Amino acid sequence: MRIGLGSDVHRFSDDASRTLVLGGIEVPGHVGLAGHSDADVVTHAVCDAVLGAAGLGDLGRHFPDDDPTTAGVSSLVLLTRCRDLARDAGYRIGNADVTVAAERPRLAGLLEAMSSTLTEVLGAPVSVKATTTEGLGAIGRGEGIAATAVVLLVDAAAR
């Protein structure tokens, strides 16, 4: 078994037309996050955890932010590729656990949908939780959103 830890932070975009996407779910009524892809911090944290557990580096190594082919891409596409890279390295995903830190928007009503979407992509249980930073720091001031994820990989040959 191998364990990976991933984290990501994005600031809110200055582009009011940008869609907020978290855990593969569009969040209506809120400006999106700034980033090269859809800036989905939840999915990016899971990607980094999968890659880290497999010893394959990080998201930026595989999908650099100057690559025009990934501009605006859904982070679920990136997660699918990360899952496949881990499988190619001989691992299957056991489970993932994610914590999102945000003052806004309130996420309680979206957590189950995020968990379900990520579970479907990974083919393994994913738990998504949310918290605030009680007004502390950049996240607490509402400047952006952060996420941290832990992923367990299991030797694919072991059943």
Domain ranges for the chain, please list them.
2-155
d(C-alpha 135, C-alpha 14), whole Å: 21
**CATH class of segment(s) 2-155:** alpha beta
What is the separation of C-alpha 68 from the centre of its chain, rounded to a whole number of angstroms?
20
Q: pLDDT tens track of the chain, all 159 residues? A: 999 999 999 999 999 999 999 999 999 999 999 999 999 999 999 999 999 999 999 999 999 999 999 888 999 999 999 999 999 999 999 999 999 999 999 999 999 999 999 999 999 999 999 999 999 999 999 999 999 999 999 998 876
Q: For residue 13, how many other CB atoms are within 10 A of its CB? A: 17
Q: What is the pTM of this model?
A: 0.96
Contact 43, 36 (CB under 8 A): no
Task: Locate 3 and state its tokens.
Answer: 């364990």
CB 44 within 8 A of CB 8: yes
pLDDT attached to residue 159: 63
